[in-house]
């Protein structure tokens, strides 16, 4: 446990240093960038250590795993981000524990999340996931569908539209891919000025994401180590 703590502490320091350097390189204030540690496949005990080390935002991509960890760690003051592809029939359950759902990519999913949040008496922050490549199986709305999903979210009474999320496609320079978010983000902000977030950047490409204006980076492996169990 103690050695796990020192590994996580050192990795976190490295990642925070990368964020600071990436911000400095493009003249941004590092306080504009929130680190979300993606804890999928790692145990709740790691999240408890991360919380002790000052992490406030955690991300999960599978409902069953996330719901169990959120219940086990209910005593901690954490913001839970759901970042995985989500089926409509699980939306109601996710709405009971997630604070932020980053992977809203179709109007029907927004409607289902709204219904779930309303029945749980909660309000959810929602990001629209943008597909940066045609079909790499990573989900996301096509660029020409993004505004429609944004409008469905803003029309929903228990959802708050915070901005956009994207995953860089495999096999393309992430800087080129993230650059496609800039005009979309401007279009979203011109209609919804409060939708200021851009969640982009993972362990391998957080610098490119910060250069492209990311306000939230989602980092797994660089903090926790290489995936324990690939599913």
> Which residue ranges make up the site for ligand PLP (CB under 6 A)?
38, 40, 61, 83-84, 167, 202-204, 218-222
Of 107 and 201, CB closest to ligand PLP: 201
Quote the CA–CA distance of 112 and 95 in Å, as a whole number: 9
Work out how close the CB of 216 gets to ligand PLP at its nearest, in angstroms, rounded to a whole number.
10
Of 170 and 186, CB closest to ligand PLP: 170
| Residue number with the smallest Cβ distance to ligand PLP | 220
Work out how close the CB of 223 gets to ligand PLP at its nearest, in angstroms, rounded to a whole number.
8
Is 131 in contact with 140 (CB distance < 8 Å)? Answer: yes
Helix or strand holding residue 20 (H, E) = helix 2-25
Quote the CA–CA distance of 69 and 76 in Å, as a whole number: 11
Of 54 and 221, CB closest to ligand PLP: 221
Helix or strand holding residue 35 (H, E) = strand 34-38
Of 61 and 152, CB closest to ligand PLP: 61
Work out how close the CB of 155 gets to ligand PLP at its nearest, in angstroms, rounded to a whole number.
26
Work out how close the CB of 29 gets to ligand PLP at its nearest, in angstroms, rounded to a whole number.
23
Residue with structure tokens 């009971």?
A: 96
Quote the CA–CA distance of 171 and 137 in Å, as a whole number: 14
């Amino acid at each position: 446990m103690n050695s796990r703590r020192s590994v996580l502490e050192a990795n976190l320091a490295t990642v925070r240093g990368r964020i600071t350097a990436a911000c400095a390189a493009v003249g941004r204030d590092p306080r504009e960038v929130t680190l979300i540690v993606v804890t999928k496949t790692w145990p709740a005990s790691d999240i408890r250590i991360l919380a002790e080390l000052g992490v406030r935002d955690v991300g999960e991509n599978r409902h069953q795993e996330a719901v169990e960890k959120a219940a086990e760690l209910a005593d901690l003051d954490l913001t839970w981000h759901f970042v995985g592809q989500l089926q409509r029939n699980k939306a109601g359950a996710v709405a009971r524990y997630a604070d932020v759902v980053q992977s809203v990519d179709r109007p029907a999913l927004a409607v289902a999340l709204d219904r779930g949040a309303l029945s749980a008496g909660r309000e959810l922050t929602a990001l629209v996931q943008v597909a940066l490549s045609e079909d790499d199986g990573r989900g996301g709305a096509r660029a020409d569908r993004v505004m429609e999903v944004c409008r469905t979210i803003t029309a929903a009474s228990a959802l708050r539209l915070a901005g956009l999320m994207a995953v860089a496609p495999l096999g393309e320079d992430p800087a080129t891919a993230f650059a496609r978010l800039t005009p979309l983000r401007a279009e979203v902000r011109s209609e919804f000025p409060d939708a200021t977030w851009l969640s982009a950047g993972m362990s391998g490409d957080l610098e490119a994401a910060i250069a492209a204006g990311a306000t939230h980076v989602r980092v797994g492996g660089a903090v926790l180590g290489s995936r324990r169990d690939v599913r």
